[in-house]
Amino acid sequence: MCGIAGFSQFTNQIGDQETLKAMGQAIFHRGPDAGAEYLDENMGLSHRRLAIIDLSDAGIQPMHSHDNKIVIAFNGEIYNFLELRAELKAKGYPFKTHTDTEVILALYQYHGVELLQKINGMFAFALWDKEKQQLFIARDRIGKKPLYYCSHNNEIVFASELKALLAIKDIPKEIRLDSVYDFFAYQYIPDPKTIYQNIHKLEPGHYLTVTKDGINKKQYWDISFAKTSSASEPELKKQLQSLLRDCTKHRMISDVPLGAFLSGGVDSSGVVALMAKISAEMPVKENAEDNVEESVEKTAEDNAKESTKPITTCSIGFDEEKFDETKYAQIVADQYKTNHHELIVQENVEDNLEHIVSFFDEPFADPSLVPTYFVSQLAREKVTVAIAGDGGDEVFAGYEKYSIDHIENKLRAKIPTWIRKNIFPGLSKLSATVAAQLNINLCQRASSLLYSLSVEPAMGFYISNSFINDETWQNLITKETKTKLGDYHPSKQTTDFYNKCDGKDHLSRILYTDMKTYLPGDILVKVDRMSMANSLEVRAPILDHKLVEFACTIPSNLKFNIKDGKVEKKYLLKEAFKDYLPDDILYRKKMGFSVPLASWLRNELKEITEERLLNREQGLKQFFKEEQISKLWFEHKTEQKDHATVLWSMLMFQMWWDRYMTSAI
């Protein structure tokens, strides 16, 4: 795991060696083990290294091909690199290192950009072909590794994080107003947008080719629900178990200490169980410093650092019981005799919040960023690589919102369309008015339900996904903001993907939408930034693209299963893990990685929230009415109403603004 950055200068000079060093220094935390630069008359590359595979100096990047015609800066891991290396070596490629980086270089020389169809991993890389005078930039299929870029003075500037781009002189920082609206609606800014007008994210499953003639973007992979398997449930379960095992095993290849996040939920518990099973079946290595050459010549199975040594697991908890899952994590840790560590997040949130938020160089407000930072910090004290259960909810339909969405769609089907569309909007507004005047929470819920039922399923799913309703937004924004936004609405991000999906049923469409928006825009951003803040690599077996492709062929009723009126989310995944986990883990109520947000804002974060929201002239007040900010804050701190979500988003936005818009990076 690493950080990359660079720029072209085919016609206009962007920078020099010192510029590349500054870009690398901005993302030092992503790769504290080593750093280097490459610069010729047309291209500059910078790399920061977190050494995971082949710890020798031979793995330092930017790395050249054996004939010096190609140079690459690579961030990530290629899990099938050993198999690919063996194939390429048989063809006569003269490898100089034992890294997955050199495998990409070799693949490019044989297959060009089509190498993307052969590699399995998480990655973002920039490959400079000196002969073709072409830059090739690619991002992995699911979006685990980030890549930002912009066209600047008719050249391209790119990096793993925005802060490295901002190290370039005169990079424009004009705020993109629709991204501000997106942020408050989703708590993140969806691909390919960023908070800045002229800077973009490269979407998952896409690549760029850059020459002196310009930038060309292409998509090389997408999620497809077009085919549904006709296999029986037992057959699908067996296939899923095999895939889960293989994907986990491949992610246990490491030349540094490796462990796992363990929340006590189904996904992380299942992954830990698989790791323990795989580990127990493998022989203990006699010498931890086995010869690297011998290691590379073995298969991926032999090479996984699997032994009878206990798996290291890490959990985060809270002193408020309804948010604490550590007792469930302990059940799994005890069952598999892991080397378990836990940390209770108590009074250290305020002391660390400024530091934690600084790693998000555009507004980001998923509150679970806080425990994700602390569990990454805890893990890094023990290991360099952690395996996580990310992706289970999006791929196998695990969120509670899918149950709510199911109920709403049943109601939509039963209520005549003319009633829903003509009467429910008025009833929704009436309920909202009553809720506002009398502070009746039930009326507010009724208002939201009536409004959701009045629209079509795609828009209804947006409402389930959004964190600010239209009324609150319209009350907050200034006239100038409203005028500039025109008729823009963030729901377009959701409805466009919903309608693009090639699946035949509603569940497939909303899973596709979440895998194209929420997963890469929120979950994977959070995990990447918080793990990299602690120089920790995190791997997610459930997000292996082969497993995702297989899951998309599973009939929807085996993901969101309804039997005798009872809904079982993630049905087949739970069946696959049934051989490894007790019912107390598999069938308990889902908690999620939640935090006591309302309490934090009224107590330990009260002072910083009030100071940032009310005492800043720049930032929020350029878009929102001051009196409305004050009103929401007063109602929340006096416990008249719970405005925790929107106030947290405001706090995150203002903290970002104070760091990146009013001070030097």
245 burial via Cβ count (<10 Å: 0-12, 13-18, 19+): middle
Task: Return d(Cα 450, Cα 444) in angstroms, integer.
Answer: 10
Give the burial string for 138-168 (b: 16+ CB within 10 Å, else e): bbbbbbbbbbbbbebeebbbbbbbbbbbbbb
Task: Return d(Cα 187, Cα 585) in angstroms, integer.
Answer: 29
**How many C-beta atoms surround the C-beta of residue 522 within 10 A?**
21
Q: At what angle do helices 100-111 and 81-90 cross, to 10 degrees?
A: 50
Long-range contact set of residues 17-26: C-beta below 8 Å, sequence gap at least 24: 19/44, 19/167, 19/168, 19/169, 20/44, 20/45, 20/46, 21/46, 22/167, 23/159, 23/164, 23/165, 23/167, 23/168, 24/48, 24/164, 25/167, 26/159, 26/161, 26/163, 26/164, 26/166, 26/167, 26/665
Structure tokens belonging to residue 421: 């569309």
Let me know if 2 is a catalytic residue.
yes
CA atoms within 13 A of residue 209's CA, in its CB half-sphere: 12
Task: Return d(Cα 25, Cα 166) in angstroms, integer.
Answer: 12
Of 2, 150, 247, 443, which is the active-site residue?
2
CA atoms within 13 A of residue 552's CA, in its CB half-sphere: 23
Q: Using H for helix, E for strand and C for coil, what is the string for 149-168?
A: EEEECCEEEEECCHHHHCCC
- For the annotated catalytic residues, the residue numbers are 2
